[in-house]
Amino acid sequence: MFQTFESQSSPEQGPPRLSALRAVMATRGFDAFLVPRADAHQGEYVAPRDARLEWLTGFSGSAGFCAVLHDRAGVFIDGRYRLQVRAQIADVYTPVHWPETQLDAWLSDHLTQGAVIAYDPWLHTVDEIAGLRKKLKDYMLVATDNLVDAIWDNQPPPPKAPFTAHALEHAGKSHDEKRAMLAADLEADTAVLTLPDSIAWLLNIRGTDIARNPVPQAFALLHKGGQVDLFAGAGKADDIRDHLGPQVAVHEIDSFVAALKDLEGAALIDPKTCPDLVATTLADANVEIIKGKDPCILPKACKNETEIAGAKAAQARDAVAMVRFLAWLDAQAPKGGLTEIDVVKALEGFRMQTNALRDISFETICGAGPNGAIVHYRVSQQTNRPVVPGELLLVDSGGQYVDGTTDITRTIAIGTPTDLHRTQYTRVLQGMIAVSRIRFPYGVGGQHLDALARAPLWMAGQDYDHGTGHGVGSYLSVHEGPQGISRRSEIALEAGMILSNEPGYYREGAFGIRIENLIVVIKAPALAGGDDRNMLCFETLTHVPFDRRLIDSNLLSFAERDWIDRYHADTLSLLAPRMDRQTLEWLTQACAPL
Ligand code: ZN
Ligand code: ZN
C-alpha cells in the first residue's frame, strides 16, 4: 500500500508536453488554457486518468492549478507546496504563490485585452467560472474540450471496478428511507448530484475509483418523487441492481448530459461543487436552475446510531493496530537504523493485520525531527530521514474500515525528550483536552470553539497555521464537510457530527507536534443541578495513549490531569481484552496514572 509517489511525469517531460499543448492552443486560437487539479467531482483525490495537472507539469500536490499562455505557464500553489513544486516542475513553468496572487490578476498582467481564455467546463465549478467572468470582463472565456486529453497519448482509462452495496448493518438507514426523506424537503423537481460521497451516502454504495476514499465516480439525479437516476461507467453498477431496487435507474455515464437536457421543471444545483457544464447545459435547455446546497451534505454529516457504533468499533480495531505499532516503535527506535519509510511501512503492516483494513484513509504523514514541522509532509525516497534518539516523531495516519474511517496523530519521543519538547507537547495536549471537555449550547459553530484549542499556545505567544478540526465520513472521505473547527467554520455543530480535534505546534527546522483524536457531537448529559439550556458536548472516539514522557504534569490543572488519567484508564479497559500479553504489558505502563 505504501507509495513514494511515483510520478506520471518527470521534469524532462514538462517542456515537450507544454509545447504540444501550446500547438493545440494555437490551432484553436486560444491565448490561454486552464489546467486545474480537480476532476468533474471536485474531490481531494483524482483517478490516474484525471491527473492532468501532474501529467503536464510534474506537480503532484493535492491542490493547485496551471494557467498555460504562449509565453509563460504559471503553476499556482499554496504555502504547503512551495518546496515540493520546485523539485517537481521544469523551469518552463513558473511557480505562482496562491492565494496571494489570484488567477484573474495574473492573467490580466500577462494577456492583452480581448485575449481568449479556454477552460474545460467539466473541471471548473459554476462559482469558479462565474467569479472569473466577473473579474475578467475584458477577456473572452471559452469552454472547450480538454486540450490535455487531446495530447495525452497513453491516458489511462477510467477506473472500471464495480460499485458495491454498503450494507444496512453499517449504514443504519436504507436508501429508500434516505431518498424519501430528502425528496420530501426538496425545493426543486430534481436535485443534480455530482459529488461521489453524496451519491455514496444516498444510495448506500461504495466504490474503489479513487485511492483512499471509497467513493463511486458517478452522477445522479434525485427527483421529487424520491426516484434516482444513477449515471455510471459501463457495467459498474451491474452487481448492485438488486440493492438499488426499482426506484433507482442505472444509466451509462455518457448519457448524463442528455438527461440534463430532458429535465422538466426546476433543477437544484450546488454552485460550489457542480461543474460549469451542468449549469450551461440546463440553461441552454431552458431548465429553471435553483442554486442551493447539495441536499445530502448535512444529513450525511450527522451520523446515525448505527454509524456511530460502527465508528467506535472501527476506532477500537484501529487502536489495537496503533498500540502494537507504538509498542514496536518503543522497542525498535532506540536501537537506531529506522527511517521514516520503515515506520510508515510498519504501521501499515499493523493496520493490515486487523484483517479488516480496506485502505488507508490518506497518505501517512511521518515526520522525524525537522520533517515533523512540515505540516503536510509526505515522505519520499529523497526526504527519507533516520529516526534518531533525542528527536520527536510525528505520525498522522488512518484507516478505512467498512464500519468507519479513522484519523489519528500521535507525537512520540524517541529516546529522552528535551524540556522544550515537553513544554510544547503539554500545551498542545491542553488545547486538545479543552476541546474534548467543552459543553456548549445549540447553535455554536466550530469557529467558536477553535480558540479553546489554541489558548494555551496563545498565552505563550505561539499558534499553529491550520484548522483545529475537520469533519470525517463514515467509511467515506477522511475530510468531509460541512462541519469543522476553525475560524472560518460557521456551521452549527449538531449531534452525530464526527470531527477531528488536532491542535499542533511547529518549530521550523527543529520539530513538529500534533495530537489528534476523533470526537463525535452528542447531547450533553445534564449537570447534577440541571442545565438552563439544552447543551451539546463531545464524546472521544479515539483511544490510544499519549506519550507520558512528553507530558509535564506541573503545567496541568487538576481537571486536565484528571481527564488524562481517565482517558488512559478508559483506553486500557477498552483495549486490554484485545491485546496479546506482551503488548498489554506495554499498554498498561503507557496508561498508568500521571
Ligand atoms: Zn490526521
Ligand atoms: Zn485529521
Give average pLDDT by consecutive 10-residue segment, the chain, 594 residues: 57 90 98 97 92 94 94 92 83 94 97 97 98 97 98 94 97 98 97 98 96 95 98 96 98 98 98 98 98 98 98 98 98 94 98 97 96 87 92 98 98 97 98 98 97 98 96 97 96 98 96 98 93 94 98 98 98 97 97 98
Quote the ligand 1 centre to 446 CA distance (angstroms). 17
How crowded is the C-beta side of 424, counted as CA atoms within 13 Å?
Answer: 23
Quote the ligand 2 centre to 515 CA distance (angstroms). 10
Give the three cell numbers for residue 508.
521550523
Q: Yes or no: say if 375 and 465 are a contact pair by the CB < 8 Å rule.
A: yes
Quote the ligand 2 centre to 408 CA distance (angstroms). 7
pLDDT at 4: 45
Quote the ligand 1 centre to 179 CA distance (angstroms). 32
pLDDT at 76: 97
Quote the ligand 2 centre to 327 CA distance (angstroms). 23
Quote the ligand 2 centre to 463 CA distance (angstroms). 18
Quote the ligand 2 centre to 120 CA distance (angstroms). 32
pLDDT at 2: 52
Quote the ligand 1 centre to 408 CA distance (angstroms). 5
Ligand nearest to the CA of 398: 1
Quote the ligand 2 centre to 464 CA distance (angstroms). 14
Quote the ligand 1 centre to 9 CA distance (angstroms). 28
d(CA 41, CA 19): 28
Bridge partners for 193 per DSSP? 220
Q: How far is CA 302 from CA 148, 307, 329, 404, in A?
A: 39, 9, 36, 14
DSSP E strand boundaries for 318-432? 359-360, 365-368, 392-397, 399-401, 404-405, 408-413
Quote the ligand 2 centre to 469 CA distance (angstroms). 7
Quote the ligand 2 centre to 176 CA distance (angstroms). 32
Quote the ligand 1 centre to 213 CA distance (angstroms). 14
Say how far residue 148 (Cα) sits from the centre of its chain: 26
d(CA 254, CA 234): 9
Residue 178 DSSP class:
H
Quote the ligand 2 centre to 472 CA distance (angstroms). 8
d(CA 167, CA 519): 24
d(CA 512, CA 126): 39
Alpha helical stretches, state H, 354-512: 419-437, 446-458
- The one-letter code for the residue type at 591 is C
- State how beta strands 504-507 and 480-485 pair: unpaired
- Residue identified by cell 513553468 is 93
Quote the ligand 2 centre to 470 CA distance (angstroms). 6
Quote the ligand 1 centre to 396 CA distance (angstroms). 5
d(CA 359, CA 379): 18
- Predicted structure pTM score: 0.95
**CATH numbers and ranges of domains, the chain:** 11-151 (3.40.350.10), 164-292 (3.40.350.10), 302-581 (3.90.230.10)
Task: Strand 359-360: give its sheet, edge to edge.
Answer: 359-360, 399-401, 404-405
- Cα end-to-end span (Å), the chain: 37
Q: Yes or no: say if 452 and 493 are a contact pair by the CB < 8 Å rule.
A: no
Quote the ligand 1 centre to 16 CA distance (angstroms). 38
Q: Yes or no: say if 515 and 503 are a contact pair by the CB < 8 Å rule.
A: yes
Quote the ligand 1 centre to 409 CA distance (angstroms). 5
Q: In angstroms, what is the C-alpha Rg of the chain?
A: 25
Ligand nearest to the CA of 478: 2
pLDDT at 3: 54
Quote the ligand 2 centre to 305 CA distance (angstroms). 22
pLDDT at 510: 96
Quote the ligand 1 centre to 112 CA distance (angstroms). 45
Phi, psi (rounded to 5 degrees) for 335:
-70, -20
Q: Yes or no: say if 93 and 75 are a contact pair by the CB < 8 Å rule.
A: yes
Give the three cell numbers for residue 252.
451509462
- The one-letter code for the residue type at 271 is P
Quote the ligand 1 centre to 428 CA distance (angstroms). 15
Quote the ligand 1 centre to 339 CA distance (angstroms). 20
- Residue identified by cell 475530510 is 479
Ligand nearest to the CA of 500: 2
Q: How far is CA 474 from CA 42, 47, 196, 298, 356, in A?
A: 19, 21, 14, 13, 15
**What's the angle, vertex CA 225, arms to CA 224 and CA 228, rounded to 5?**
85
Ligand nearest to the CA of 499: 2
Quote the ligand 2 centre to 498 CA distance (angstroms). 11
Say how far residue 252 (Cα) sits from the centre of its chain: 28
d(CA 202, CA 222): 10
